[in-house]
């Protein structure tokens, strides 16, 4: 391995005792040294000793005044000779400089400068401030409101008068005596055999009309006999439809679609005047009703319905205002009669009745508007919407005075009250800064609110954020 070159400098400076005379940067000569020694009265140093000393100090880099040895004079620092020796050394580890050794000193043992303390404090405060800002930026709340639609009902009273005024609408009161009849069928019956019937098309392919009288016979190819139930005339080169009935009762005489001959006609005409039925006949069995107590109990309601219908028709003849299309009737002094008796076998029976009818004619649109206004006043909620059906309301006559031409209508209104998600009551700014319990109690006090769930993030928060964009409100109407 090649040898390294190393510059070796003097580590220490030689402290020499020299006279107090001024020092000079000029290197002393032999003559100067001899002169100084002579002045002090001292002996010269031997030349061979001086030469050896010079050799030593040339190596070290310091050359003291040889004449000053042994003198206790004022110490001065003699300038060093600018001597540097390039010494070739064998492979030996490099000696660390004083600066490198000092760099290895544990800096933690050194005092921290004041400006570094300020910088560290500033960085710490910045980190803490950043964490605080991050926490507040993550602060948010979610409010979930679930509503339950409420069915509401209200009986509004709408006043009618001869002229329309605020809160009233126009109407007409008509009072008329009325009579009416109705037909009822027994609710209970028994089955029995009957004559099967069928619709038949009669064709006439001759040039002259052909008259047929009840009970002209019609015969199937199987020999089942039916008879015409009424007189008919079949036009020339034409056709008509008539009803024929089985000659005997019972299911055995029911037929399906078939063709018919008319045995009463001359044989020459039976091929050009004939009948066809495209459907099956009835079953040959019928149910005969039996009047019971339940049938007699239904007579009043059936009779009342018939009387009201007759009263409306009578009132329409007296009302001239085309907008008054709604009619409500109240009946007084109702009398009913019927010849029906319990246990009677019959397919139907008749009832009759009479009464005094008071008919109120009104404008349905105006009455609805006035009734709806009353309902909305009753159930007005800034946070909810009242939904009403498009179906007509139930209207009855509460009071009617024909002489004064006034009346009061009772209007029954039913609707659904449900939360309005767009209401200001559900805006985020309504809940800013409030605690979780305050928000829940506030919302649960509203009609139609079924449940409230408030979630805060982070969870350790006790109050909602102070900024609206950090609060999310969700409203579910429900079913």
Using alpha carbons, select from 257, 232, 259 the residue that is nearest to residue 243.
232
Q: How far apart are CA 16 and CA 78, in angstroms?
A: 7
pLDDT of residue 119: 78
H-run or E-run covering 15: strand 15-17
Query: 73-129, pLDDT tens digit by residue?
Result: 444 455 555 544 444 445 555 555 555 555 555 554 556 566 677 877 877 777 777
DSSP string, 261-272: B-TTS-HHHHTT
Name the 3-class secondary structure at 244: strand
Vertex 90, ends 89 and 91: CA angle to 5°? 120
pLDDT of residue 58: 57
Query: 263-317, pLDDT tens digit by residue?
Result: 999 999 999 999 999 999 999 988 888 999 999 999 999 999 999 999 999 999 9
pLDDT of residue 99: 57
Residue ranges of the chain with per-residue pLDDT less than 50: 1-26, 33-35, 37-44, 69-76, 83-89, 108
Question: Global pTM?
Answer: 0.50
pLDDT of residue 109: 53
pLDDT of residue 122: 74
Q: Going from the N-terminus, what domains does the chain have, and what CATH number goes with each?
A: 4-102 (no CATH), 140-148+420-476 (no CATH), 195-283 (2.40.30)
Q: How far apart are CA 259 and CA 432, in angstroms?
A: 90
């Amino acid at each position: 391995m090649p040898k390294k070159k190393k510059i070796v400098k003097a580590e220490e400076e030689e402290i020499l005792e020299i006279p107090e005379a001024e020092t000079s940067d000029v290197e002393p000569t032999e003559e100067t040294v001899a002169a100084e020694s002579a002045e002090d009265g001292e002996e010269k140093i031997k030349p061979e000793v001086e030469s050896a000393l010079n050799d030593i100090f040339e190596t070290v880099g310091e050359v003291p005044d040889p004449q000053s040895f042994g003198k206790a004079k004022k110490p001065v620092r003699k300038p060093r000779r600018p001597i540097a020796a390039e010494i070739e050394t064998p492979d030996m580890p490099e000696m660390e400089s004083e600066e490198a050794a000092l760099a290895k000193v544990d800096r933690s043992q050194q005092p921290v400068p004041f400006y570094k303390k300020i910088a560290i404090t500033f960085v710490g405060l910045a980190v803490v401030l950043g964490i605080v800002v991050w926490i507040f930026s993550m602060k948010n709340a979610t409010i979930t409101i679930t509503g339950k639609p409420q069915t509401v009902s209200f009986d509004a009273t709408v006043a009618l008068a001869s002229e329309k005024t605020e809160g009233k609408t126009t109407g007409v009161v008509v009072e008329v005596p009325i009579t009416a009849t109705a037909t009822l069928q027994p609710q209970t019956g028994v089955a029995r055999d009957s004559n099967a019937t069928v619709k038949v098309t009669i064709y006439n392919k001759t040039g002259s009309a052909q008259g047929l009288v009840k009970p002209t016979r019609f015969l199937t190819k199987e020999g089942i006999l039916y008879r015409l139930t009424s007189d008919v005339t079949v036009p020339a080169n034409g056709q008509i439809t008539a009803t024929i009935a089985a000659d005997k009762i019972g299911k055995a005489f029911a037929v399906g679609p078939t063709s018919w001959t008319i045995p009463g006609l001359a044989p020459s005409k039976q091929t050009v005047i004939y009948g066809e039925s495209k459907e099956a006949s009835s079953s040959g069995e019928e149910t005969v009703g039996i009047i019971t107590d339940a049938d007699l109990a239904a007579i009043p309601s059936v009779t009342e319905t018939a009387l009201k219908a007759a009263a409306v028709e009578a009132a329409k003849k007296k009302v001239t205002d085309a907008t008054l299309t709604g009619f409500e009737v109240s009946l007084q002094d109702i009398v009913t009669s019927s010849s029906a008796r319990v246990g009677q076998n019959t397919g139907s029976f008749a009832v009759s009745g009479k009464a005094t009818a008071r008919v109120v004619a009104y404008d349905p649109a105006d009455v609805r508007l006035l009734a709806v206004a009353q309902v909305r006043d009753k159930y007005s909620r800034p946070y909810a919407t009242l939904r009403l059906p498009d179906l007509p309301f139930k209207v009855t006559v509460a009071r009617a005075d024909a002489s004064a031409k006034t009346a009061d209508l009772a209007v029954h209104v039913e609707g659904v009250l449900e939360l309005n998600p767009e209401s200001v009551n559900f805006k985020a700014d309504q809940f800013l800064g409030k605690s979780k319990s305050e928000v829940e109690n506030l919302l649960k006090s509203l009609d139609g609110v079924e449940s409230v769930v408030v979630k805060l993030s982070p969870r350790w928060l006790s109050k909602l954020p102070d900024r609206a964009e950090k609060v999310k409100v969700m409203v579910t109407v429900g079913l």
